[in-house]
Amino acid sequence: MINFTKMHGLGNDFVVIDAINQVISLSAGQIRFMSDRHFGIGFDQLLLVEKATLNEADFKYRIFNADGSEVAQCGNGARCFARFVRDKHLSDKDEICVSTDSGVLVLRFADDNMITVNMGIPKHKPTEIPLLATEESKFYSADIATERRQIDNLSSHVGQRAFGAVSMGNPHAVLQVHDIKTAQVANIGAQLESHAIFPERANIGFMQVIDPHHIKLRVYERGTGETLACGSGACAAVVIGIEQHLLAHDVLVELPGGNLKINWAGRGEPVFMTGPATSVYDGGIAL
């Protein structure tokens, strides 16, 4: 029996497992079973809380997508990680450091029950994202088939779509759209997520700029599909929006599941994300 906690950050839902006080060894197939919303528990990602392997860290943080693949970063998950270790009395610190495959994250508790995550310094070079391009640019492009409706007929058109790209410890592409409600998130997101231009696939954001301090965002996550919120995706959208001279340095990001506050001072500086994390229930599952 594996004990777990179901949690969410603005509707981006997780199963969080204490891998310190119980022995955990999960195959990709077992993770896929657990993620199934009909036969398993159901989640966007599974998070493991492990003993620290670095002297400067309090814990190790591992993230698995619903398809069983392991990834290096998840911002909403990081806030849930912090809430979990506090609720389960694994740490009583107001600031904890967790190591990930993309570096060390600093998680801070605020008085208003919000959690701020230092998401680290964004990486812009194509080789760091990674992205197949010869040189860094504020705009890249790829051939994407888009749907066009003409009266009662639906046709497909292949054309170049421009996007910005950055790594927040995981690869992100962000497209600017006029209306978030009509954005072809499932269609374009699926194509660009697995496009040859991204050798490790990517998370795809669709950003509508309301004003320099406010955007609306939908994200098609790598290995999961569209989610109600994506913390690293919100950070990536703000970074790219600032780089493209569309946004200010403090931005409210409105996601389908709720709002995040993102702050970024510019090149060479870390991105700070502030938002809630909620525990839903505790449970156990036999595999």
Per the annotation, the verdict on 80 as an active-site residue is no
Consult the annotation and say whether 205 binds a ligand: no
Could you identify the residue written with the tokens 């374009």?
Answer: 188
Consult the annotation and say whether 221 binds a ligand: yes
Consult the annotation and say whether 21 binds a ligand: no
Consult the annotation and say whether 55 binds a ligand: no
And the tokens for 154?
Answer: 């639906």
Per the annotation, the verdict on 235 as an active-site residue is no
Consult the annotation and say whether 170 binds a ligand: yes
| CA atoms of 226 and 2, how far apart (whole Å) | 28
Catalytic residue among 80, 97, 230, 235: 230
And the tokens for 151?
Answer: 């009266």
Tell me how many degrees the CA angle 270-235-179 measures, rounded to the nearest 5: 155
Question: 185 near 147, Cβ under 8 Å?
Answer: no
Catalytic residue among 74, 80, 97, 235: 74
| CA atoms of 266 and 19, how far apart (whole Å) | 36
Consult the annotation and say whether 259 binds a ligand: no
Question: 35 near 64, Cβ under 8 Å?
Answer: no
Consult the annotation and say whether 42 binds a ligand: no
Beta strands in the chain (DSSP E): 2-9, 12-18, 45-51, 59-65, 70-71, 95-100, 103-109, 115-118, 140-150, 153-167, 171-176, 203-211, 214-221, 225-227, 250-255, 258-264, 271-275, 278-285
| CA atoms of 249 and 172, how far apart (whole Å) | 19
Q: Tell me the C-alpha to C-alpha distance, in Å, between residue 227 and each of 35, 76, 103, 221.
A: 14, 11, 24, 7
Consult the annotation and say whether 12 binds a ligand: yes
Consult the annotation and say whether 263 binds a ligand: no
Q: How far apart are the first and last CA of the chain?
A: 7
Consult the annotation and say whether 149 binds a ligand: no
Consult the annotation and say whether 40 binds a ligand: no
User: Which residues belong to the active site?
Assistant: 74, 230
Binding residues: 12, 45, 65, 75-76, 170, 203, 221-222, 231-232
Point out the annotated binding site for substrate: 12, 45, 65, 75-76, 170, 203, 221-222, 231-232
